[in-house]
Amino acid sequence: MIDFHAAAVEVTAPEGRLTILHPATLTLAEPRISVIGANGSGKSTFARLLNGLVEPTSGSVRVQADSWLDTVTDGAAVRRRVGFTFSDPGAQLVMPTALEDVALSLRRRYRRRTERDEAARAALERFGIGELADRSVHTLSGGQRQLLACASVLATDPAILVADEPTTLLDLRNSRMIGDLLMSLPQQVVLVTHDLDLAARADRTLVIDEGRVVFDGDPAAAVAHYRGLA
């Protein structure tokens, strides 16, 4: 569960103060929530507020894991419970091999190296990329990196997953695989996407336009609203 209370984001740009997200008050309780909108409308800003990667300049964003946590004052605890995958997986893959990358995200949970590597290998298998365990992340295709980034984040078993354009780099087969996976996870999922078919599979869809949530509700109606804007 996620709660926005008059949360807004302003930045300082050469042309002065800009509001990139106007105050939003909403509660996200549905298991699958999709966020759609044009390039530059504010979707990533909205998504990054959910785990404190972006802090609201006014208002607040709180997430409920075991208790309610504020994304600013409880930032580290929020980031342990809210997993985030970036549209560019290169931004989050930091270790030389696929296995080491997943193992890194498991270092808090498993102190012993052998247990950690075993759990990391199991996470890779779950995503159908077990055979890539010992490959250098630099030799992976864009789609394989995206799958690895998802495996690394989900291996930590976050309470909520925020996925920012997780299928952008993927071919049809892998987009379907990631889409099916996101729709079947036990965690709450907030998904930012330009894939309107995938967005429509959510329980609730937000449309963001010029920094405002301009539609919030039924996914099919949201997609129709977005098409109307375009």
Ligand X SMILES: Nc1ncnc2c1ncn2[C@@H]1O[C@H](COP(=O)(O)OP(=O)(O)OP(=O)(O)O)[C@@H](O)[C@H]1O
Compute the distance between CA of residue 179 and CA of residue 197 in angstroms, rounded to an integer.
Answer: 10
Q: 34, 36, 44, 190: which one contacts ligand X (CB under 6 A)? A: 44
Q: Does the footprint of ligand X cover residue 13 (CB under 6 A)?
A: yes
SS3 label, residue 187: coil
The one segment of 39-47, 120-128, 155-163, 183-191 that binds ligand X by CB under 6 A: 39-47
Q: How many other C-beta atoms can be found within 10 angstroms of the C-beta atom of residue 75?
A: 15
Q: In angstroms, rounded to a whole number, what is the distance separating the alpha carbons of residues 131 and 47?
A: 32
Question: Does 91 contact ligand X by CB under 6 A?
Answer: no
Is residue 190 within the footprint of ligand X (CB under 6 A)? no
Distance of CA 218 to the CA centre of its chain: 20
**Using the rule CB under 6 A, is 217 a contact of ligand X?**
no
Side by side, which strands form the sheet with 68-70? Answer: 16-28, 2-13, 58-64, 68-70
Minimum distance of ligand X from residue 146's CB (angstroms) = 15
Cβ atoms within 10 Å of 217's Cβ, excluding its own: 12
* Smallest separation, CB 103 to ligand X (Å): 30
Pick the piece of the chain touching ligand X (CB under 6 A) from 37-45, 108-116, 117-125, 195-203.
Answer: 37-45
Cα torsion through 19, 23, 27, 30, rounded to 10: -40
What is the amino acid identity at position 3? D
Q: Closest by alpha carbon to 190, among 41, 17, 14, 27?
A: 27
Which residue stretch of 43-51, 61-69, 108-116, 121-129 sits at the interface with ligand X (rule: CB under 6 A)? 43-51
Q: Does 86 bind ligand X (CB under 6 A)?
A: no
Residues 121-180 that bind ligand X (CB under 6 A): none
Does 43 help bind ligand X (rule: CB under 6 A)? yes
Q: Do β-strands 204-209 and 68-70 pair in parallel, antiparallel, or remain unpaired?
A: unpaired
Tell me which of 37, 158, 179, 219 binds ligand X, using CB under 6 A. 37
Among 4, 34, 41, 120, binds ligand X (CB under 6 A): 41
67 contacts ligand X (rule: CB under 6 A): no
Residue with tokens 């099919």: 220
CB 190 within 8 A of CB 162: yes
CA distance 220 to 182: 18
With binding defined as CB under 6 A, does residue 7 bind ligand X? no
Given the rule CB under 6 A, which of 38-46, 101-109, 112-120, 133-141 is the region that contacts ligand X?
A: 38-46
Pick the closer one to ligand X by CB: 52 or 155: 52
Q: Which residues lie near ligand X (CB under 6 A)?
A: 11, 13, 20, 37, 39-45
